[in-house]
Amino acid sequence: MADNTIWIGNDHGGYELKMQIVDYLGKKGYAVNNVGTDSTDIVRYPYFVARVAGAVSKGEAERGILICSTGIGVSILANKYKGVRASLCTSTYMGKMTRAHNNSNILCLGGKITGVFEALDILDAWLTTPYEGGRHDISLGLIKEAENDLFNNKMWTPEGPMK
């Protein structure tokens, strides 16, 4: 069972923002498992995504943060892991809504496109907004149903309204 430690991974494009986030999380009392690169030397983000998304998928981590230059690459790969709901957020509103409606468990950020202050606001919204449940459980149930089929080499065909 996962504890409440936040796992964070990054490539060279996310290094500087990662350092700001690790400092911020420490000041807020969060434990951090830093599994990203610790320099701006060029590396490939899939290695670091595998560490964070793999931990979330296996239940070793409750939540993670992934950072590359734009956040796009890390979000694409992270969402290929079963049970991962990685969300690329570029605004505080997105950070809030992805927790409230999607119960996002990995926050993806762009180290070269989102400023530090905005990124910290996004992070704070993502960390503090509770999942609303209710009607949103229906969509999350459909995502889980799709994952189960897709991870078992079956094409998922939803039943119900397709309008």
The tokens of 7 are what?
């796992």
* Domain at 3-132: CATH code: 3.40.1400.10
| Complete edge-to-edge strand list for the sheet that includes strand 86-88 | 32-34, 3-10, 61-68, 106-110, 86-88
Helix (H) or strand (E) holding 7: strand 3-10
* CB neighbour class for 73 (10 Å; exposed up to 12, middle 13-18, buried from 19): buried
Active site residues: 68, 101
Instruction: In whole angstroms, give the CA distance from residue 141 to residue 146.
Output: 9
CB atoms within 10 A of CB 102: 17
The tokens of 79 are what?
């969402």
Grade residue 162 by pLDDT with cuts at 50, 70 and 90.
Answer: low
Cβ contact 116:67 at 8 Å: no
For residue 3, what are the β-bridge partners?
A: 61
Cβ contact 124:27 at 8 Å: no
Grade residue 67 by pLDDT with cuts at 50, 70 and 90.
Answer: very high
Average pLDDT over residues 109-138: 97
Least confident of 14-23, 124-133, 141-150: 141-150
pTM of the predicted model as reported, rounded to 2 decimal places: 0.94
